[in-house]
Structures are given as C-alpha cells and as structure tokens.
Amino acid sequence: MPENKFYRILVLIANPDVALKAEKLLAESDIPVQYRIKAQGTASSEIINMFGLGTSEKTMMAMAIQQTEAPGMLRQFRKRLYLGMPNTGVAFTIPISGGGQNLFDFIDEATEPDEGGNMAEEGRDSCMIISIVNQGLSDEVMKAARPAGATGGTVFHSRRLGNETATKILGISVQEEREVVMILARNSRKKEIMEAINKHCGIDSECNGIVFSVPIADIEGMG
C-alpha cells in the first residue's frame, strides 16, 4: 500500500431500487462499482408485511476508494438515498490493510487529487460479523444471534473452494454450496453475538459454520 495513503472498501446493502439510485450517484462522482451481488434480508415475510419493509431482496455493492473520499460519499448516501429510513439500506466502509499496486493505482486514477492529505486510520464502534454455514441454514444463524443482540442481517450464496484433505483432517463434511450471513453490530455486542453463533451453528453442528468479524470504519443507516 502506498506510504501515507489509506484506502477503504465502501459497501452498500440496500433494496434494488435504492441500489440503482446509488449507482447513478457513484457515476456522478466517477467512482466505479467493482462488485454487485444479489442478496436477501433476514426479516421474515410476516415482519416484512407487518412493517411495510417492501421486499427481502437486497443488492450489495462494493467498491474501493481512498479513505478521504469515504466520509463525503457516506454523507451523499445518507442525504440522497435517505439511509436510516424504512425500506432503504445501510452503507459502511472497511479499512484495506494491503493489496496489489495495480489496485491502488486503479483507485487513485478514479479519484480527484487530495489537496488536504490523507487522514490517519481511525477506530469506530461497529463491526461486521460474518458467518459461513451450510446452504439453507442461515435462519439458524439469526435464531442464535438475535437473542444476543443482533437486529438483522444480509444473506448471500457462495460456493466453497478448498482442499478436501483439510476437511478430512478436521473430521468434518462441508457442503460445496454455502450461505454467508453478514450482521452489522456494535462492538459492545460482538462477543455475545459471536459466541451465540459459534455455540449453536459452529463447525460441529449441522450448520458446519465458522464465524469471524472485521472492523467497520464509518457507517450510515444504522441506528
């Protein structure tokens, strides 16, 4: 990573129509969207209907940007996408600790020169808890996480790529098709949520799950 420069992954999880508006907003700022992933919210259909949440279908967008660009983009998301209001979404940034030089060159080319210098890395009070479980068992993760303080999550499907020898050594059988559950949480609740997920959905359970967390630098749309 270039000396004295810091970078972020900017993530937006929102309803599809909000994501389309975000894409136009990003285009105005010459920020390319590197990844767009279809996902599902974890609210049940009964809760969706009861609270007028629209649909459980979600879009996750992710892009790499300079750290100095992150606060401004999050403010634009809040102002123009109304993040935090019902049926919108949440946006946050994750620090990048390393990467190939071509990645940073790509980010810098898409970003206006920074006259004010780059800010130092800062800690925040939120995290992203990520659980990876067997297909069809993401509901079990949320059943475990909610009593520990989780308010909701986002699910998307993935496919395992790994060494069969490693699974044999560990004495487990892991499905190729997996589900990834992402839960935004305050750091004060992180330990309880992760322990609950690991207890009920860990590697020795039917879920064959693993759980870990990553720090969140900045966030909009989370109460």
Instruction: Per residue of the chain (223 residues), give pLDDT as tens.
Output: 555 578 888 999 988 899 999 999 988 888 877 788 888 776 544 443 433 334 478 888 998 888 888 888 999 999 999 988 877 888 999 988 666 666 667 667 665 544 444 433 444 688 999 999 998 999 999 999 999 999 888 898 887 665 555 455 445 555 578 899 999 999 999 999 999 999 999 988 999 899 999 889 888 887 5
Residue type, 19: A
Cβ atoms of 15 and 55 closer than 8 Å: yes
Other Cβ atoms less than 10 A from the Cβ of 181: the count is 27
Strands (E), 46-151: 57-66, 89-96, 126-134
Question: What is the longest distance spanned by two Cα atoms in the chain?
Answer: 55
Which domains does the chain carry?
A: 7-109 (3.30.70.120), 126-216 (3.30.70.120)
User: For 189, which DSSP code?
Assistant: H
